[in-house]
Structure 1
Amino acid sequence: MSDRNSVLIVGAGPTGLSAAIMLRLRGYDPVVLDRRAGLANLPAAHVLNTRSCEVLAEMGAVDAAIAAGEPLSASDSGLVVWTESLSHREYGRLHVPAAPDDDRGPLSAFGSLNIAPNRLEALLYDRLVSLGGTVSFGEQVLGVKQTKEGAEVEIRSVAEGKGRKEAYGWVIGCDGAGSIVRKSIGIEMEGPRTLARFMTIYFRADLDHFVEGRRAILYWVGGKDVRGVLINFEKATGTWAMLVPIADLPMETFDADASRRILHKAIGSEDVAIDIFAVSDWNMSAQVATAYRAGHVLLAGDACHRFPPTGGLGMNTGIQDAHNLVWKLSAVIEQRAPATLLDSYEQERRPIAQRNTDQSVRNLMKMGMIDEALGIATLAPVLSDAGIGPIDSYPSGALRIDEGHAEAATHRAAVQHAIDAQAEHFAQGAGMDLGFSYTTGALIPDGSPPPSTDTLSYRPDAHPGARLPYAAVSGRFEDSTLGHILSEGVTLFAADDRWSAIAREVSIDTGVPIHAVAADAARFGERIKDLLGIGPGGVVAVRPDGHVLWRSAKWLEGGLAELRHAVQVSHGRGVDADFIAGTGKITAGAQQDI
């Protein structure tokens, strides 16, 4: 017999660990299983965007992430460089701008970070442990079967080879692209499984001499024989990776010597000591799951979406999946909401995953502009003998871009124009990062125009479904609008103190905690009402994940009924539905800060 409140998280990557931390902060003790022997030791994606930093701030982990990473737009790392090799001709470069402020103030307390996921995974693990949580490594989930009250999970100890079955009230599959959880419950993926195939060579080398004066996030190498992307994950330790397109070539083609020769050509010098510590291959996919939930089993992260890495959206989308899911699961477990509230998880997050998939594919396709301008197929698969032959050889048929005549100057300008056109790919645009909005789900539309869908620009607005605009006079996240949001229930940002009494009554009536916050200039700045889109007497109701539930631009005489309806919608209930308050750990009653 399962404990109907028990939660199993399968997979201890950034998504699974984030879900576990959020549950621990709400008083739960989720079981976390991972088939690996320990934490990841190989980096992969490397960008933690602004919205994910805000989520980490709620988890108490953002300071550690900032210490472990570096700002994406820092003056010494805010470049993307296209080059023949690190030591030869440079084709062009793109400067990654800092996230712009709105004319009403900064967009967030944080910027995007360049941080290797294995470092992020380690600090999230440390945060979970600090909260009393654990991860059981070497535990492989072989299958998940739905039951009347939850799920039966078949588990095998990797070390001992022994199998067992355990029952859980809820299962969250965060077990990656090949998710056993997803396959067990019969959910399919839509979209191309393979757009391209790559080999990743992980190595350590002192390349400071080659990148001096142009420290970059990425180096796109387009040489005669060798092509790919060089990523410096950790400057201090000289840890690098090179992504090499290999098509259908077997991995046996690239032994240690062949991989080292490829790296020497990408660097443009054989006079470099290289320590290769791992080589792997992977498929670039563009897929989204047809469903995110089957009964008491839910999916998050790569288990339900796989993007090309062109945009740095995969890991961030997974962390934000967990952010959307956990508060809803908590409300269901505590009987403040029916299980149907969890249907809104897919309603809200699946369109975001599809948007991110489409954008990542567009970014990939747009890279062809550079190839066309250069006359070089920079991501064409390498041949089996790619590392053999002289290092200093320009791609055949390509105009020498560094020569002094007029034709070369025209060529350089065309290449730079094509590179500048990649801004939405590399700039982590605020529109993609912060401007996404839910259109259906646990929210009440107010008829206002939706936020812009532009990937780069973003004008904050408290449109229902959108992330609440950031505002803080102090500049600290904890003092900001986002820092005031309750981890359960509903938070009100009110321009009239009469909403405090209404919040108290609705909270008692529904059993849902409501936190009333004064939308005043002293705390949030002179433009706070403009940011929220409210006038005198107006109010904005916000969910625990920071997305706007409901808004009234002005005072409502029927405000009590309207707020009650909004709270019911946020918890998956219609306005006329009977409500039985649960006996969870949060006591009903409005908290006031007004």
Structure 2
Amino acid sequence: MNETQVAVLIVGGGLSGLAASLFLRQQGVDCRLIERSTSTSQLLRSTHVSSRTLELFRTVGIQKAIHDVAEKVILGENWTRSDLPPHQLPRVILRARSLQDVADGDVIVMEAGTDDFTEVSPAEPVWCGQDRVEPIMVREAERRGARISFTTEMTSFSQDSVGVTATVRDRTTGAEQVIRAQYLIAADGAGGKIRPSLGIGRTGNGTAGHVLNVLFEADLDSILGGRRFLILYLSHPDAPGMLFKLDEKRWIFGLFCGPEEIADGRLSHAECANLIRTATGVADLEIRVDSTLGWWMAHEIADSYRSGRVFLVGDACHVLPPTGGFGANAGIQDSSNLAWKLAGVLNGWAAPELLDTYETERRPVGQATADQAWLRHERWSGPGGDGLGQQVHQTVITTGYRYLAGALVGGTSTDVLNPELNLDGSPGSRLPHAWLSLNGRRLSSLDLTGEAFVLLAGPHGAAWTEAADRIADRLGIPLRAHLVGPDCELSDVGGAFLDASGIGGHGALLVRPDGFVGWRSAIAVQDADETLHEVLRTMTARAEVPAT
């Protein structure tokens, strides 16, 4: 049996696995992805692409491609309008007894997003099925050099102190191959075999219920009278579930049911159509059912995100109800966090201990995100959801969360999720967004991230940028440095970035490749070389390295 070598083997070709391949290739890391399915997802679960996820996609050049095939998400108070342009969906969650009640305005508004994202991010969230997102990710990952093999499954693996040995099988031909990798990423989903084979358990509130997703086509717009929404909870006792529009023709109805109904083929397409008629209250509705997918909702977090050289991402490490649309976005952000750290270790500019910070940073975020999804599930799915805890704003969950410890220096945050969104440039938070100009080209401060560390200093911080160049060269760390100000190379004419980041005229901050602030100083220091040397050495978990 032949053996091939690869730096990182990714098992699972859903959104989290594909994101891992994209971000690893962004860092120049050799990777191979295997997926047992014959192609990208055809049966849909994930639809909400958050602004933070689109920021990450922006760094690898696919934001526009996704935006072009997506439904646009707009402010929630517009849901009652009947004259909205095509492909626009209000950011609103409703509960009603029937479609006619929605048309009549007889609904309960569970959540209505009214925030304008333009002050927070260069990317607006969109509503886009993963059947459209994943092919875009595959094309870009392969263009960047990732090797992606569908119809391929891992049949066994073992690890030792220096790597992982996996046996994979082509499900069409039966041919087997041995892959030797330095690290393995388990992106094989909530029901995957890798996590339990490592002896990693899960804790949480357990299974919340079972859902049968029915993908169908029907003319619901004429019944709704132009009313639109992201999700509509329908409360008919014989067919409770949630309805959402996928694109100009297709809808998904998620039937809340028992475990027996989610078995493949348990309900015929005709039976599913009748359930949709019951749920919507439209007895003569013409429906064409395309496909069904059964799945289970749960609130569970893996007890560990890592075992040796194997790392869990996405649903493999956190399972949460779909309320809020957090799950897939959290998985993509898992992969972003892990990719640059693997790159640092594989390329020699970071110590292996840096990989410990993946769990240190991402598990508390996963726990807090799952808790918020559970809170929304309990509140949205039926009456009596008050008093369950504090529901934090969606943008705080997807973008404003903070790392309390890990690959950062000087963080002072005590809560992963603050009650209010506060992207202030402090260590552990996502870099504040501001529009800047570089050589006449308009760009967001976040566009500077992705491939390397970035040091941004105030207009009088030349000592910081000069020191950054010397220290990066000495430590072999990929780092770009810029002065930011009204008359600097990186022009901040109105001073928006300097105000938002807290660095003033003489300070600086250091941004990690994943867009999170790792360190900040609001003032100049006597020895910038020594300070930055110690900061970078600490952030990359390296043992003492002489500063000169």
2-structure distance, mates of 1:517, 1:510: 19
Q: Tell me which residue corresponds to 2:417.
A: 453
Tell me the residue number matched to 1:204. Answer: 217
Structure 2 equivalent of residue 265 of structure 1: 278
Match of 1:241 among 252, 273, 287: 252
Q: Residue 91 of structure 1: which of 107, 111, 126 is its match? A: 107
Larger radius of gyration: 1
| Offset of residue 2 of structure 1 | 7.7
Q: Which deviations, in whole Å up to 9, do the C-alpha atoms of 1:389-425 show, x marking residues without a partner?
A: xxxxxxxxxxxxxxxxxxxxxxxxxxxxx8xx99958
1:291 corresponds to 2:304: yes
Other-structure match for 1:508: 473
Q: Match of 2:64?
A: 63
CA drift at 1:320: 0.5
Matched, 1:463 2:464: no
Question: Cα RMSD over matched residues?
Answer: 2.8
Answer yes or no: is 1:440 the counterpart of 2:405: yes
88 and 451 in structure 1: CA distance in 2 versus 1, 3 angstrom threshold: closer
Which residue of the partner structure matches residue 536 of structure 2? Answer: 567
Q: Secondary structure at the match of 1:118?
A: helix
Offset at residue 220 of structure 1 (A):
1.2
Give how far 1:160 is off.
2.6
What residue is the counterpart of 1:380 in the other structure? Answer: none
Opposite residue 45 of structure 1, the aligned amino acid is S
Q: CA separation in 2, counterparts of 1:118 and 1:478? A: 32
1:363 Cα deviation after fit = 1.0
Q: Alignment partner for residue 431 of structure 1, among 387, 396, 404?
A: 396
Q: CA deviation digits over 1:424-460, x for unaligned, max 9? A: 58xx63211221110110101254x5678345x3122
Distance in 2 separating the partners of 1:181 and 1:225:
38
Once the two structures are TM-superposed, the CA of residue 474 in structure 1 deviates from its matched residue by 6.3
Match of 1:519 in 2: 484
Task: Identify which of 456, 459, 477 aligns with 1:492.
Answer: 456
Matched-pair identity in %: 27
CA deviation map 1:308-355 (0-9, x unaligned): 111111000011011111111111111111211111111101110001
Is the 8 Å Cα contact of residues 465 and 548 (structure 1) preserved in structure 2?
Answer: yes
1:46 and 2:31 aligned: no
CA distance in 2, matches of 1:81, 1:129: 40
Q: Counterpart in 2 of 1:347?
A: 360
After superposition, the Cα gap between the structure-2 partners of 1:423 and 1:85, relative to the gap in structure 1 and judged at 3 Å, is farther
How far apart are the structure 1 equivalents of 2:68 and 2:390? 27
Equivalent AA in structure 2 for residue 517 of structure 1: H
**Matched residue SS, 1:298:** strand
**Letter paired with 2:185:** I
1:472 aligns with 2:483: no
Distance 2:517 2:111 in 1: 34
Q: Deviations over 1:71-98 (max 9, x none)?
A: 2226542133322111346323367334
Look up the SS of the partner of 2:311 in the other structure.
strand
8 A contact 1:2–1:169 mirrored in 2: no
Distance 1:92 1:192, change over 3 A: closer
Q: Distance in 1 between matches of 2:539 and 2:442?
A: 24
81-90 or 276-285: which moved more? 81-90
Are 1:108 and 1:470, in contact at CA under 8 Å, matched by a contact in 2?
A: yes
Pairing 1:18-37 to 2, within 5 Å after superposition: 18-37=19-38
- 1: CA distance, partners of 2:269 / 2:473: 67
Evaluate the alpha carbon distance shift between residue 345 and residue 446 of structure 1 in structure 2; reply closer, same or farther with a 3 A threshold.
Answer: closer
SS of the residue 2:107 aligns to: strand
Following superposition of structure 1 onto structure 2, how do residues 178-257 of structure 1 map, counting pairs within 5 Å?
178-234=191-247, 236=248, 238-250=249-261, 251=263, 254-257=267-270
Q: Is contact 1:145-1:185 (8 Å) kept?
A: no
- Higher strand proportion, which one? 2
Q: Which one-letter code corresponds to 1:514 in the other structure?
A: L
- Of 373, 377, 383, which residue of structure 2 is paired with 1:371? 383
* 8 Å contact from structure 1 (residues 144, 185) kept in 2: no
Report the alpha carbon displacement of residue 116 of structure 1 after superposing the two structures with TM: 0.9
Q: Name the SS of the counterpart of 2:426 in structure 1.
A: coil
Q: 1:20 to 1:268 in 2, by over 3 A?
A: same
Residue type matched to 2:407 in 1?
A
Pairwise CA distance, 1:194: 1.2
The correspondence of residues 401-416 of structure 1 with structure 2, limited to 5 A, is none
For 1:135, what is the secondary structure of its paired residue? strand
SS in 2 for 1:257: helix
How far apart, in 1, do the equivalents of 2:53 and 2:441 lie?
Answer: 13
| SS across alignment from 2:304 | coil
Q: Unaligned 5+ residue runs, structure 2?
A: 79-83
Judged with a 3 Å threshold, the aligned counterparts in structure 2 of structure 1 residues 329 and 311 are, in CA distance, closer, same or farther, namely: same
Deviation at 1:27, TM superposition (A): 2.7
Tell me what 1:125 maps to: 138
AA aligned opposite 2:364: P
Tell me how far apart the structure 1 counterparts of residues 215 and 38 of structure 2 sit (CA, whole Å). Answer: 20
Q: What amino acid maps onto 1:300 in structure 2?
A: V
Is contact 1:486–1:515 with CA below 8 Å preserved after alignment? no
Q: Partners of 2:55 and 2:64 in 1: how far apart? A: 11
- Count of matched residue pairs: 523
Moved more, 542-551 or 359-368: 359-368
Partner residue, 1:389: none
What is the alpha-carbon distance in structure 2 between the residues aligned to residue 317 and residue 228 of structure 1? Answer: 24
Please, which moves more after superposition, 212-221 or 3-12? 3-12
Within-5 A mapping of 1:152-171: 152-171=165-184
Distance in 2, Cα, partners of 1:446 & 1:162: 51
Corresponding residue SS for 1:72: strand
The 2-side partners of 1:504 and 1:164 are apart by: 44
Letter aligned with residue 264 of structure 1: R
Name the CA distance, whole Å, in 2 between partners of 1:181 and 1:452.
28
Report the equivalent of 1:539: 508
Given that residues 150 and 168 in structure 1 are in contact (C-alpha distance below 8 angstroms), is that contact kept between their aligned partners in structure 2? yes
5+ residue gaps, structure 1, are 374-417, 581-594
Tell me how far apart the structure 1 counterparts of residues 314 and 154 of structure 2 sit (CA, whole Å): 17
Q: Structure 1 counterpart of 2:20, which letter?
A: A
Aligned match of 2:345 in 332, 335, 339? 332
Distance 1:286 1:206, change over 3 A: same
Q: Does the 8 Å CA contact 2:455/2:465 hold for their aligned counterparts?
A: no
Cα pair 2:375 2:391 within 8 Å, conserved: no
Question: Given residue 178 of structure 1, which amino acid in structure 2 is its aligned partner?
Answer: G
- In 1, Cα distance between equivalents of 2:40 and 2:4: 28
TM-score (structure 2 length as normaliser): 0.88
3-state SS, counterpart of residue 363 of structure 1? helix
Q: Does the CA contact (< 8 Å) of 1:494 and 1:540 recur in 2?
A: no
The answer on whether the counterparts of 1:477 and 1:483 sit within 8 Å (CA) in structure 2 is: no
Counterpart Cα distance in 1 of 2:268 and 2:110: 34
Structure 1 211/532 Cα, relative in aligned 2: closer, same or farther at 3 Å? Answer: same
Runs of 4+ in 1 over 4 A off after TM superposition: 1-5, 248-253, 421-425, 449-452, 473-478, 577-580
Deviations 1:205-248 (A, max 9, x none): 122211232111111111243211011111x2x21111111134
